[in-house]
Amino acid sequence: MDFNLESLRKDAVEIAGIGGDSTLKFFQKSFDLEFKKDQSPVTNADRNAEMLMRNAIKSRYPDHGIIGEEFGRERDDADVVWVLDPIDGTQSFIHGVPFYTTLIGILIEGKPEVGVIYAPALNEMVSAATGSGCTLNREKVHVRQCDKLADATFLTTDMEHVYDHGYKEQFEKLLAETRIHRTWGDAYGHMMVATGRADFMFDPILNLWDAAALLPVVKEAGGSYFDIKGNETVTTGSAISANPALKSSILSYFE
């Protein structure tokens, strides 16, 4: 079955804008905060944004599936499935830090083909569709040239998760080998790689709604998106976005 990826990308950009812009009504203002069973935070801004995006998708594509962090799965066996994370980086959001994002990934027959990363508080919209390249606010972007870890800017979301998931040794070795490390984390870190502002980002654990948007964006920007075994996937949990020239060097620390 053929799908118009560019049309899906345009709609995903618009729908991410609807969801992301709705969060600005709450950002650095008043919102309701709760904690889920896994102790991760959620706000009424998350739920409101996801519901707005779901409604927009259903009105345009009633036969498509949806998987969202806050409201679960609908028609997830459909050929086209939209994967939503209304606020990726909720910790940033609740602390008034603008590095949170709204994510949309589109799976076609199970494969990530379209990705949108929108940072509403920064007015940065990154989008990609397979074969069409990657744009930041409609301008083409590409990973920057870097072929040595010694020259690389290395990002993680936070050290606590890295240590808790058993990567303390690998992290500290990479830290010693790279030029600089920063915690511009969550999806924004992967966006930094895709837009040529950092060289690699490591996440020890991701859910599908965290990852589905990232692979098309990074890949279409000329980067590599892979797990700690080197596989290009959004389903195994771990994720690294990088300049392709750094891939083998990074993976050598996870052998």
- pLDDT in the model for residue 32: 87
pLDDT in tens, 49-92: 999 999 999 999 999 999 999 999 999 999 999 999 999 999 99
- Scanning 36-106, the segments in alpha helix (DSSP H) are 44-60, 90-94
Higher per-residue confidence, 82 vs 40: 82
Mean of pLDDT values over 88-97: 94
pLDDT tens by residue, 189-216: 999 999 999 999 999 999 999 999 999 9
The confidence score (pLDDT) of residue 2 equals 59
Q: How confident is the model at residue 38 (pLDDT cuts 50, 70, 90)?
A: confident
Pairing of strands 153-156, 200-203: parallel
Q: Where are the beta strands (DSSP E) in 96-236?
A: 101-108, 111-119, 124-129, 134-136, 139-141, 153-156, 180-182, 200-203, 224-226
Fold exhibited by the domain 149-254: D-Maltodextrin-Binding Protein; domain 2 (3.40.190)
What kind of architecture, by CATH, is found in domain 5-141?
A: 2-Layer Sandwich (3.30)
Domain assignments of the chain as residue spans, ordered by start: 5-141, 149-254
Residue 82 near residue 64 (C-beta atoms within 8 A):
yes
